[in-house]
Amino acid sequence: MSEKIRVLLEEEQVDKRIREVAEQISRDYAGKQIHMICILKGGVFFTCELAKRVTVPVSLDFMSVSSYGSGTESSGVVRIVKDLDESIEGKEVLIVEDIIDSGRTLAYLIEMLKKRNPKSIHLCTLLDKPERRVKKQVTVDYTCFTIPDEFVVGYGLDYDQKYRNLPYIGVVEL
């Protein structure tokens, strides 16, 4: 293992911010039920932490998507690896992601999900890299942290399937 991990966001900072975002979501959805769609695999840690702090009723479903491209660049051509188990028609949908950068995959996903007639679709992310955004129409409604363009791991984010279980957000330094 030649990688060194530099701590970007401490576990306490991440926990505190997730609690704050959950409180905002609970206020915004007061009197409603949220249908959270977790984007696998990276989003699972954040989704679980967020869901248990939201005070309005929550139902959960999962999607796994793969975007083709060369190396680390997404082409925006999306393949659904695991689709939703339930209909989202008439539901208040909150897509939960670990990180958003170019927005290509999410732009495709949101357009596809809109065709399934949810009552609303909003987007929540643990980490946002807006300087890498290619698809400007992707609007993030709830962001825990805006981060610089660095390769991050922890809290579900991985490097070659490693480091997902770190309780903090770190930067991989090769």
Mean pLDDT of 109-116: 95
Q: For position 131, what pLDDT does the model report?
A: 86
Nearest-CA neighbor of 132 among 150, 112, 111, 108? Answer: 150
Mapped onto helix, strand or coil, the DSSP state of residue 79 is strand
pTM for the full model?
0.92
Mean pLDDT of 47-68: 93
Give backbone dihedrals phi and psi of 8, rounded to 5 degrees, phi first. -100, -45
Q: For position 92, what pLDDT does the model report?
A: 98
pLDDT digits (tens, 9 = 90+) for 71-108: 555 555 778 999 999 999 999 999 999 999 888 888 98
Q: For position 79, what pLDDT does the model report?
A: 85
Mean pLDDT of 168-174: 92
Residue 67 has pLDDT above 90, yes or no: no
Q: For position 78, what pLDDT does the model report?
A: 79
Q: Find the catalytic residue in 101, 141, 158, 160.
A: 101
* Secondary structure tally for the chain: helices H, strands E: 3, 9
pLDDT digits (tens, 9 = 90+) for 120-166: 999 999 999 988 888 878 889 999 999 999 999 999 999 988 999 99
| Gyration radius (Cα) of the chain, Å | 16
Q: Is 101 annotated in the active site?
A: yes
Residue 2 has pLDDT above 70, yes or no: no
pLDDT digits (tens, 9 = 90+) for 38-57: 999 999 999 999 999 999 99
